[in-house]
Amino acid sequence: MVYLYAMLRQRSILLFLLVVNILGTIYGFIWYGNQLKETSPIFWPFVPDSPMASLFFVFVLIAFLRKRNWGLIEALAIVTLMKYGIWAVVVNAIMIYVKGPIGLMGYMLMLSHFAMAVQGLLYAPFYRIKKWHFAVASIWTLHNDAIDYLFWQMPRYGIMHLFVEEIGYFTFWLSIVTLCLTYYYCLRENRKQFSL
């Protein structure tokens, strides 16, 4: 494990992840383009969930490349990367179960979102998150759930609209689980920590 964490802090790895996440973020905002055109600007920060998660991580990587920590952005990144990474894998798996194969794009989304969740968690020992950072990330995340499922701003994707209540309920509990994981990996005493 020590070798893995030594590799994760190498400048070449950080630069590679930065480029991948910038490209993924751009693609994600393009993917949400039609929905954003139809959405009131007040909801814009809460509609493109996955691109916002990867955008947070872009700033984390920029800070890491400068040998710095931006705790609030790190808290937002780990929570949203894990949450929306897992969320997309599960929702796509439901679609496969209900309607069969989802096509190359669907499988690409599953793989890329799984990678989002993994990268968020892998970098946890490098984060320097304080309790107030965690509180802000918690409010952001639960508020985002309310915007998505009370104001109908959730992603428009496939047959999701047939399972809105179930997916909304799952999403709330996924938020709770990712917040608990974030607390465990980033705030508890005696947690594993590595420096940049």
**In this structure, is residue 176 part of a structural domain?**
yes
Residue 152 tokens read as: 């109908």
Domain count, the chain: 1
- For the entire predicted model, the pTM comes to 0.95
Domain containing 144: what range? 2-186
Q: Do the domain assignments include residue 83?
A: yes
* Confidence band for 123, pLDDT divided at 50, 70 and 90: very high
| Residue 156: predicted pLDDT | 84
Q: Which pLDDT value is given to residue 108?
A: 95
Is residue 140's pLDDT more than 80? Answer: yes
